[in-house]
Amino acid sequence: MRLFQTRFGTLALGGIIFLIISLSTRLILTITAGALAELTIGKVVLIFTVGLFYDVITFCYFAAPAALALFLLPNRWTPSWWSRGPAAAVYFITIFLLLFNACAEWLFWDEFGTRFNFVAVDYLVYTTEVIKNIRESYPFTTILVSIGVLTAGIFAATWRPFVRAFSCPTSRKARLVPLLAITLVATGALIFIDDDDFQISKNYYANELSHNGIYSLVDAFEDNVLDYDQYYLKRDPAAVFSRLRPLVLDHNARFIVPGLDIRRHITAEGAERRLNVVLIVVESLSAEFLGVYRNQAHLTPNLDALAAQSLFFDNLYATGTRTDRGLEATTLSIPPTPGRAVIKRPNNANMFTLMNQFQRRGYDTKFLYGGFGYFDNMNNYFAGNGAEIVDRAVLTGDEITFANAWGVCDEDLYRRT
């Protein structure tokens, strides 16, 4: 190809590697999704066709700065080692990052069944905790070494054509054409392409497979919300409220207004009691681990015993997949909200919260957390709503008997409480 006889052959080589890695990733994820994607021959063709489209667009986005640099680089500089050396380093690092991203995509899909989304954005924001957790959960060193070896192999196999293309004297006209082509594709995609335009199926997994992980990650950065129609079930509001109002109405309550509204005035029975209240919220303790939900491993004997001796609600359902959703529901008494949890949104201070109700009655309210409370914006939210913060940063060394990436053990936190 004539392109490989110009310095833009380096970008062409990088593009081929990018497309091969993207294709391989999509193939592996498609096999992993299996029956969940409800695959047919036609759907598979669509997944890989639209996927190639996204891959090309993604490559053009990231290739545009490199194309500009190659356009501006004088011919007299490219044969020198002080120019070829940095170019080779960038080439090696790019291959490594592409392979690392492919591995990360597979692990993310295995955990969440989706391409990168707002959860991945959070992972990048809270890098320290996430990296520590990954190192504790996966053979991180082995993964990095394997990626490094594979990177070195690809680099060794393609190094000569890369250097040869980079060193080729290239006229300004020969440089201008590929620069314009890449810029036009990237600009056109930026202006005209919307993810919603390329929903190839009503099947969620099939749509995710047709996307590009890097593209999805950048899109999540720009628009860090969830599509309500995609992630939440909907019914006619009138039908919902006609069923909901009788369900929430109790003998000691009356509705404040008629219609699509469930606000109620509730008359308390008996005198108010000023008791000390400890509300314990446990992360990642799914019902499947509890003996009371027929788990046979006897992992939670004390909780199982408490369930038999207490007021136990067994018809509660999750409001989301993250801890911040549980905290949102517990402290604000609101149903799931589309996009980000209120805890992580701006202007979330001085709200009508559970803490607020206790504070109005003269209580001191504290938020105790075994990790660092800046994670998921928890400290900001609870402090903004009047709670004193006690997190890992406050605990002294002699108070901690065990800790990992997510914080101290529960026993240490209970002792401090």
- The whole-number average pLDDT for the span 399-403 is 95
The pLDDT value recorded for residue 370 is: 95
DSSP codes of every residue in 145-213: HHHHHHHHHHHHHHHHHHHHHHHS---HHHHHHHHHHHHHHHHHHHHH--GGGG---S-HHHHHHTS-H
Residue 71 resides in a domain? yes
Q: Which amino acid, one-letter code, is at 28?
A: I
Residue 304 resides in a domain? no
Q: Which amino acid, one-letter code, is at 81?
A: W
Q: For 331-362, how does the pLDDT look when each residue is reduced to its tens digit (9 = 90+)?
A: 999 877 777 789 988 899 999 999 999 999 99
Q: Domain total for the chain?
A: 3
Which of 121, 101, 32 is closest to 322 using CA atoms? 121
Alpha helix ranges (H) inside 34-80: 41-72
H or E element in which residue 238 lies: helix 237-248
DSSP E strands: which ranges in 277-405? 366-368, 388-390, 403-404
Q: For 33-56, how does the pLDDT look when each residue is reduced to its tens digit (9 = 90+)?
A: 988 999 999 999 999 999 999 999
Q: Are residues 166 and 236 in the same domain?
A: no
- The whole-number average pLDDT for the span 268-294 is 90
Q: For 364-382, how does the pLDDT look when each residue is reduced to its tens digit (9 = 90+)?
A: 999 999 999 998 899 999 9
In angstroms, the CA 18 to CA 59 distance is 7
The whole-chain average pLDDT of the chain stands at 89
Residue 396 resides in a domain? yes
User: Around 18, how many Cα atoms within 13 Å sit in the side-chain half-sphere?
Assistant: 27
Q: Are residues 170 and 101 in the same domain?
A: yes
Q: Are residues 345 and 364 in the same domain?
A: yes
Q: Which of 209, 224, 239 is the last residue of a domain?
A: 224
Report whether pLDDT(1) > 60.
no
Q: Which of 212, 239, 270 is the last residue of a domain?
A: 270
Q: Which of 209, 236, 270 is the last residue of a domain?
A: 270
Distance of CA 89 to the CA centre of its chain: 30
Residue 155 resides in a domain? yes
- The whole-number average pLDDT for the span 258-272 is 89
The pLDDT value recorded for residue 175 is: 85
Residue 278 resides in a domain? no
Residue 17 resides in a domain? yes
Q: Are residues 82 and 158 in the same domain?
A: yes
Residue with tokens 């400890």: 278
Residue 99 resides in a domain? yes
Q: Is 403 helix (H, G, I), strand (E, B) or coil?
A: strand
Q: Are residues 406 and 346 in the same domain?
A: yes
Q: Are residues 347 and 406 in the same domain?
A: yes
In angstroms, the CA 300 to CA 285 distance is 10
The pLDDT value recorded for residue 123 is: 77
Q: How confident is the model at residue 196 (pLDDT cuts 50, 70, 90)?
A: low
Q: Which of 122-126, 129-133, 167-171, 343-347 has the highest mean pLDDT?
A: 343-347
Q: Are residues 77 and 112 in the same domain?
A: yes
Q: Are residues 105 and 175 in the same domain?
A: yes
Q: For 144-158, how does the pLDDT look when each residue is reduced to its tens digit (9 = 90+)?
A: 999 999 999 999 999
In angstroms, the CA 407 to CA 373 distance is 10
Q: Are residues 254 and 115 in the same domain?
A: no
Q: How confident is the model at residue 4 (pLDDT cuts 50, 70, 90)?
A: low
Residue 295 resides in a domain? no
Please tell me which residue, 385 or 406, carries the higher pLDDT value: 385
Q: Are residues 36 and 182 in the same domain?
A: yes
- The whole-number average pLDDT for the span 118-136 is 76
Range of the domain at 353: 317-416
Q: Are residues 19 and 163 in the same domain?
A: yes
The pLDDT value recorded for residue 195 is: 64
The pLDDT value recorded for residue 2 is: 66
Q: Which amino acid, one-letter code, is at 374?
A: Y
Q: Are residues 47 and 142 in the same domain?
A: yes
- The whole-number average pLDDT for the span 112-139 is 80
**Which pair of tokens denotes residue 120?**
């991945």
The pLDDT value recorded for residue 77 is: 77
